[in-house]
């Protein structure tokens, strides 16, 4: 009996020890899980399922919402595009109307005078003098003893001349510092070359006579003056006939100081190396069209078309601003254009 009680006590102790060992193991395992953030697969799977279900259940709603939003955005964008298109068409119409109005409202004679120091300030200086005559206007440069530009508008009606050349070459009394004189050209080897041609001024005795003032003359090589330059002057009159009128700005290309040029005569008249013409007309539709020429002061081979340039090119080389009273949206593309088909076909 005593032995059986002793054995029972031993078994009880073993159970208690085993239970304590199991509890200690469980505690250690729980502590290890917490420390290392280990989540059982069953929990993860269940939780993941909830998250997936949650995301899945929200997705249709989100898609539907997005779909409705896209429809709204598309409708808004479509409306915006329509409005933008209408605005663009309206702006284009307004621009076209402005251009048409400007084409009609601005006459060729309004834009004859180029911008230079004297025309900008409105005052004549010692080296820039603007004077107007019966048939043309010019700006005289005392330092060169020649005009840097001469401008006029030649009409179809003015081609019906009433007189011929007067050949009365003389100094210009309007030039305050004194112009070149016929004596400056004597035995120089250069022609007294017109800037405003006498043939363009024969619609009036006064206008053709004033074209022989020495302020309108420049030293021109005979082969140039009687050759390609004469051909270009003749072509200008043909354009006045075909277009109805043409504005002409012509002169020497003065891109160096006066002392850098050769000169003739007592008054030291500069001999230009190049001459230019900038021309402006309106076509059959009433739209402005322009062309330019720069030709060397020498015997030239080829035809006048070999020397055509944009008006912009002349402005760059002379420092002048032609046809500046035209609206910029007409002047800018006009002067940069090298499409001379309308001139070449007339």
Active site residues: 194
C-alpha distances in Å from residue 335, one per residue of 50, 194, 205, 342: 75, 25, 34, 14
Round to whole Å and give the CA distance between 283 and 245.
Answer: 10
**Residue 67 structure tokens:** 């779909």
Q: Partners of 248 in the beta sheet? A: 152, 279
Q: Give start and end residues of each alpha helix (H) in 122-227.
A: 205-210, 222-225
Q: Is 303 helix (H, G, I), strand (E, B) or coil?
A: coil
Phi, psi for 294 (deg, rounded to 5): -130, 120
Quick one: which H or E segment has residue 194? strand 191-194
Residues near 57 by beta carbon (within 8 Å), at least 6 away in sequence:
none
The DSSP code sequence of 89-136 is HHHHHHHHHHHHHHHHH--GGGG-SPB-HHHHHTS--SS-EEEE-SS-
CB 148 within 8 A of CB 139: yes
Rounded (to 5) percent helix, strand, coil in the chain: 50, 20, 30
CA-based torsion, 137, 256, 192, 265: positive or negative: positive
CB 240 within 8 A of CB 159: yes
| Helices 328-336 and 311-318, axial angle in degrees (round to 10) | 90
């Amino acid at each position: 009996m005593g032995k059986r009680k002793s054995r029972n006590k031993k078994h009880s102790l073993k159970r208690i020890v085993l239970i304590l060992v199991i509890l200690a193991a469980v505690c250690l395992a729980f502590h290890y899980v917490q420390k290392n953030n280990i989540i059982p697969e069953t929990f993860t799977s269940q939780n993941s399922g909830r998250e997936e279900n949650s995301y899945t259940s929200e997705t249709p709603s989100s898609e539907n919402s997005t779909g409705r939003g896209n429809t709204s955005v598309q409708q808004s964008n479509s409306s915006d595009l329509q409005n933008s298109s209408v605005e663009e068409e309206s702006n284009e119409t307004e621009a076209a109307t402005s251009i048409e109005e400007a084409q009609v409202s601005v006459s060729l004679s309004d834009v004859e005078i180029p911008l230079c120091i004297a025309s900008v300030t409105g005052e004549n200086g010692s080296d820039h003098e603007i004077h107007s005559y019966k048939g043309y206007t010019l700006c005289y440069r005392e330092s060169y003893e020649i005009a840097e530009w001469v401008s006029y508008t030649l009409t179809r009606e003015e081609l019906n001349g009433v007189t011929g050349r007067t050949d009365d070459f003389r100094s210009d009394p309007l030039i305050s510092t004194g112009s070149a004189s016929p004596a400056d050209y004597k035995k120089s080897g250069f022609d007294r070359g017109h800037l405003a041609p006498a043939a363009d001024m024969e619609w009036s005795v006064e206008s053709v006579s004033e074209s022989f003032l020495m302020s309108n003359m420049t030293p021109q090589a005979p082969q140039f003056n009687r050759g390609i330059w004469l051909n270009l002057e003749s072509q200008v009159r043909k354009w006045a006939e075909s277009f109805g009128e043409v504005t002409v700005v012509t002169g020497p290309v003065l891109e160096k100081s006066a002392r850098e040029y050769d000169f003739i005569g007592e008054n030291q008249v500069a001999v230009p190396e190049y001459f230019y013409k900038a021309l402006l007309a309106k076509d059959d539709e009433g739209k402005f069209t322009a062309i330019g020429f720069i030709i060397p002061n020498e015997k030239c081979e080829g035809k006048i078309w070999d020397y055509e340039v944009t008006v912009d090119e002349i402005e760059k080389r002379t420092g002048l601003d032609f046809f500046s009273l035209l609206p910029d949206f007409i002047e800018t593309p006009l002067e940069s254009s090298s499409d001379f088909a309308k001139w070449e076909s007339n």
